[in-house]
Structure 1
Amino acid sequence: MEELDALLHQPLRTQLVAYLAAAGELTFSDLKRQLDVSDGNLDAHLKKLLAADYVAVRKESGKGRPQSFFVLTPTGLAALHAYVQQLQKLLPLGEASPAPDAGLITGLAG
């Protein structure tokens, strides 16, 4: 079985890529607001996605501060689709699964 994409398996990057897949192009400010993260945290994750060519950026200057617009690349979209397919193979979708043992869950919380 193929391994999950380590880059996309990080939850914040999964959300980030999913937002871009749904919205098309978003500004840094839009992403920050949607994900409720700090500038530094978002910047670090975007740099990793940019380096992998999963995301592209264009900068636009006008009145006031320049803005960065981020978009999912075809490589990023293909990676997201592959990641979702891999998850679906791991999950027994549509099948009833037994309820977890309540004692095990309680034991983890302590």
Structure 2
Amino acid sequence: MEELDPLLHQPLRTQLVAFLAAAGEQTFGELKRQLAVSDGNLDAHLKKLLAAGYLSVRKEQGGSRPQSFYALTESGQAALAAYIHALQQLLPLADPHSESLPALRSRHA
């Protein structure tokens, strides 16, 4: 069984990466609005995802202050796909009628 990516296994980071996967490049302000989080909370999670190479950032000067645009990288897309696959492997275990449940129990006994 695949291990869940601990970086993506945090709810806000999961939501952030999933949102960017669907919406494409987004500004900091739009991410904050869509995810309903504080500046500091969003910034902390973005920094972790950037450090892991899951996101890229593009800075653009416009108007009175610069804008930051965030997008999922190829590495981030692959990590999200692997995370979803690992979750899908776990779902049958939640079903008490699953045929894979006895096999898993016998492996860990």
**How would you bin the TM-score normalised by the shorter chain?**
0.7 to 0.9
Partner-residue secondary structure (3-state), 2:26: strand
Q: Give the root-mean-square deviation of aligned CA atoms.
A: 1.7
The TM-score normalised by the length of structure 2 is: 0.84
Please say if 1:82 is aligned against 2:82: yes
Q: Which amino acid aligns with 2:50?
A: L
> Which residue number in structure 2 is paired with residue 40 of structure 1?
40
Distance 1:13 1:55 in 2: 11
- 1:2-81 aligned at under 5 Å gives the runs 2-81=2-81
Partner-residue secondary structure (3-state), 2:17: helix
Deviation of 1:96 after TM superposition, in Å, equals 6.0
- Identity score, percent: 73
Q: Give the 4+ runs in structure 1 shifted more than 6 A.
A: none
Distance 1:73 1:97 in 2: 38
Distance 1:73 1:81 in 2: 12
Q: Which amino acid aligns with 2:76?
A: G
Distance 1:97 1:61 in 2: 55
Distance 1:2 1:35 in 2: 28
- Structure 2 residue runs of 5 or longer lacking an equivalent are 98-109
Deviation of 1:97 after TM superposition, in Å, equals 4.8
- Structure 1 residue runs of 5 or longer lacking an equivalent are 99-110
Deviation of 1:67 after TM superposition, in Å, equals 0.3
Distance 2:69 2:43 in 1: 13
Deviation of 1:2 after TM superposition, in Å, equals 2.1
